[in-house]
Structure 1
Amino acid sequence: MKKLLLLSVLFVATAMSAQDVDVVKGDFSFLKDQKEINVEFDYSKVTILKDKKTEAQYVEDRAKELNDKNKGVGDTWKKKWASAKELIWNPKFLELMNTIFSKEKKDVTFNEGLTSAKYTVIVEVVWIYPGWDAAVMKQPAKVTTNLKVVETKNKSNVLVEVTSENAPGDQWGNNFSNESRVGEGFAKTGKSFAKLLIKKGYK
């Protein structure tokens, strides 16, 4: 039993360190004097799981699977999944962005709806792996995104582009909620992106 628990911990630790963040393009220096940055989230092209299902197909399949086991459970889950973007994932990303900037004593705010801000961060969500938790063994969620800094009034002008692959999502102890695990992946994405912006744009 102890060996099994140890293997589980090592497995999760390895998965937790697998995030890959790369700068595709951009000079970050223009951000230095900015105090407010608008943020938008784009889920229009997201795929789910290793076989890259569309979100619609994933939701349909998962709801049917849960309903087949316990009638009505899948219908309830569909509502939880639909609300996760606004209630968990987007807020987690923003929370960690702002927390990291605050800890570094940088007077910058990232939030949705800041349409008067000169620049906008577009979080294009590319891929989500919800992970799983079977009490003794588990695998964290993973979130892959493209992060673009654009001019708010001319969003076709991409000034910075960063890819974040396989940002891990998990919590200590057991976490049986797919939506919550994915939320931790968004938190990790926000944390890593904030540190990158500080390093390259807010020295």
Structure 2
Amino acid sequence: MKKILFVLMMAVSSITFAQNELKVISGSFDFIRDQTEINVELKFDQTLYQVENWSEDQYLEKRKEDILKNPKKTDEDWQKWLGEWQRFKSSEYLKYFLKGVNSKSKIVFADDSKAKYTLIIDAKWIYAGWHGGIMGQEAKLTSDMKVVETENPSIVVLHVQGDKILGKPQNKDFVMEYGRIAGAFEATGKRFLGKEYKRALRK
């Protein structure tokens, strides 16, 4: 029985590991060797949410119901939550990604840059995690990332996919969905410059 349990635990561990990695689909990091700065953009094209694969409208409707179900909450509380959700989506998630990627790079990754190459991050699936007092579950992010020539975006020099990247466990906004999701963007930034990137720099 112990042997069976051990095998099952190892199988679960392997699945988790595989889902928390980046995979190079095409191209390579060779382009990066003579660069000093990379432009970064974030987009949400048909992003799905939670295990139910809700659209954003469906997810927000569910959150609205959950918030207003609390007798202590009002529409004002919902509007405040929605305002923060939109703020994180429009600016904070990208800031957290940049924080993660720049913590491991001598090359500067920045938004609104005039760099030769642009990294476009397309968020495909987001699991918001949960928080319950002293315990919580980190968010997860599946994304499609392409490095293109800034002046000619049809030329893709690198295509990378991140599969259910588990977010960093804590930040100042971790108790809220958008804070946990921000942690997943930060973790994805850190993972982006992995083994393939280091191998390219050694060439």
TM-score (norm: length of structure 1): 0.82
Q: Is the 8 A contact 2:20 2:165 kept in 1?
A: yes
CA shift digits 1:90-115 (9 cap, x unpaired): 101001111111xxxx2x1111111x
The count of corresponding residues between Structure 1 and Structure 2 is 184
Give the alignment's Cα RMSD to 1 decimal: 2.2
* 1:101-140 matches, cutoff 5 A: 101=105, 106=106, 108-114=107-113, 116-135=114-133, 137-140=135-138
Residue 185 (str. 1) matches residue 184 (str. 2):
yes
Q: What is the alpha-carbon distance in structure 1 between the residues aligned to residue 44 and residue 29 of structure 2?
A: 25
The runs of 5 or more residues in structure 2 that have no matched partner are 1-12
Q: Is the 8 A contact 1:64 1:74 kept in 2?
A: no
Q: What is the alpha-carbon distance in structure 1 between the residues aligned to residue 32 and residue 88 of structure 2?
A: 30
Residue 145 (str. 1) matches residue 143 (str. 2):
yes
Match of 2:74 among 71, 74, 90: 71
Partner of 2:167: 169
Residue 160 (str. 1) matches residue 158 (str. 2):
yes
Q: Is the 8 A contact 1:65 1:74 kept in 2?
A: no
Q: Secondary structure at the match of 1:93?
A: helix
Partner of 2:52: 51
Could you list the structure 1 runs, at least 4 aligned residues long, displaced by more than 4 angstroms after superposition: 14-18
Per-residue deviation, 1:173? 9.5
Q: What is the alpha-carbon distance in structure 1 between the residues aligned to residue 171 and residue 124 of structure 2?
A: 28
Per-residue deviation, 1:178? 1.1
Per-residue deviation, 1:65? 2.1
TM-score (norm: length of structure 2): 0.82
Q: What is the alpha-carbon distance in structure 2 between the residues aligned to residue 196 and residue 112 of structure 1?
A: 24
Cα distance change, pair 88–143 in 1 and its aligned pair in 2 (3 A): same
Partner of 2:89: 85
Aligned AA (1:110)? F
Cα distance change, pair 85–197 in 1 and its aligned pair in 2 (3 A): farther
CA shift digits 1:140-163 (9 cap, x unpaired): 210111111111111111111011
Cα distance change, pair 99–137 in 1 and its aligned pair in 2 (3 A): closer
Per-residue deviation, 1:86? 3.6
Q: What is the alpha-carbon distance in structure 2 between the residues aligned to residue 39 and residue 173 of structure 1?
A: 22
